[in-house]
Amino acid sequence: MRILIIEDEALLAEVLKKELLSLLPDAEIVAVTASVEESVRFLSSHPDPDIIFSDIRLEDGLCFSIFDKVKTSSRIIFTTAYDEYAIKAFDYNCIDYLLKPLTTSGLQRALKKTGMPSPATLDELSKDFHSGNIYRRRLLLKHGDNDIIVKAEDIVIIQTDLGDTRAYTESGLWGTVNLSLIELGKSLDPTVFIQANRQTIVNLDDVKSISHSIMRHPTLHIEVDKRSYDVAITPAKEKEILSLLGL
C-alpha cells in the first residue's frame, strides 16, 4: 500500500508517518509534502498513491486546490482541526474525515474503509448495537458516492420525504439512511431520539426551546451551527416528549 502524507507541520507529519507504519508494516510512505504547490508537483510526476492523508489548511492555501488541479484516483482521508469543511471534503475522493488530534482508533477505522467494503459490510459496521438497553451508536449515511459513518449522538434530526430518509449532523453534514423511521425508532436510544411526527425524529439533547400557540400543538425549536429546525409535535407524542424534556 503506497501512502502520501500532505501535512505542513513537520512534527505532526512524522507522528502520522510512524503511526501508519505501526498499523501497516508493509505500507510505503512515498512522500510527505507540505504545501499545495509541492503536492501538485509530486502528484503530477508520480503514479497515484493508494491513499492520501491530507490536512486541509496548508501553508499556501486549502488542499482542495490540489485536487482541482490534479485528478487522482487515490482514496483521500482528510485530517484537520476544523469541521467546517466536512461537506466540501466529500465532494472529492474522500473516504473519511478525521478531526485532530488524531487517534489510533480513528486511523484504524479510516484504514478499514480503504478496502472499499461492500454495502452489506458497511451496513454491518453501522449496526453497532444489540437488543436490550444497548442502542445503535453509529449510523451509515450515504452522501453522493460516499458512505459515511457518524456517531448517533452527532445526529440532530432525521427526516423522511418521498421515500428518502435523511439524517443531519451538528456540523451540517447530511446523508440518506437505508432504514425507515420505524426501524430507527426501535434501534436508537428512546430517551434521546424521539419521533415527533410521522416524518421526523429529533435528538432531544439539541432542542433549544419549545413554543405553544392557541391553534397549534407545541413546536420544538432546534438550533445548531447557524441552522435551525422547527418541528411540530403530533398530539399522540405530545405528552411523552414534554415528559422527556421535563415539562
pLDDT on residue 70:
94
CA distances from 82 to 26, 67, 74, 78 (A): 31, 19, 23, 11
* Cα dihedral sign, 213-215-219-221: negative
What pLDDT tens digit does each residue of the chain (247 aa) get?
Answer: 899 999 999 989 999 999 998 888 888 999 999 999 999 999 999 999 999 999 999 989 999 999 999 999 898 999 888 777 777 777 777 888 888 888 888 888 888 777 633 334 444 444 444 344 467 878 888 887 777 888 888 899 999 887 789 998 887 788 888 888 888 888 888 888 988 888 899 998 888 887 776 556 678 877 766 677 888 787 777 777 777 777 6
Residue 104 phi/psi, 5° resolution?
-60, -40
Structurally, at CATH architecture level, domain 119-244 sits in Beta Barrel (2.40)
Are the C-beta atoms of 203 and 195 separated by less than 8 Å?
Answer: no
pTM above 0.75, yes or no: no
Which strand ranges, in their side-by-side order, compose the sheet holding 227-232? 207-211, 219-224, 227-232
79 touches 55 (CB < 8 A): yes
CATH number 3.40.50.2300 is the correct assignment for the domain at 2-113 = yes
Residue with cell 484504524: 108
Q: Is 34 helix (H, G, I), strand (E, B) or coil?
A: coil
Domains of the chain, residue spans: 2-113, 119-244
Instruction: State the Cα angle at 18 between 122 and 7, rounded to 5°.
Output: 80
In the prediction, which pLDDT does 47 show? 92
Name the 3-class secondary structure at 177: coil
The backbone torsions φ and ψ at residue 153, rounded to the nearest 5 degrees and listed phi first, read -65, -20
* pLDDT for 131: 41
Establish whether domains 2-113 and 119-244 are of one fold.
Answer: no
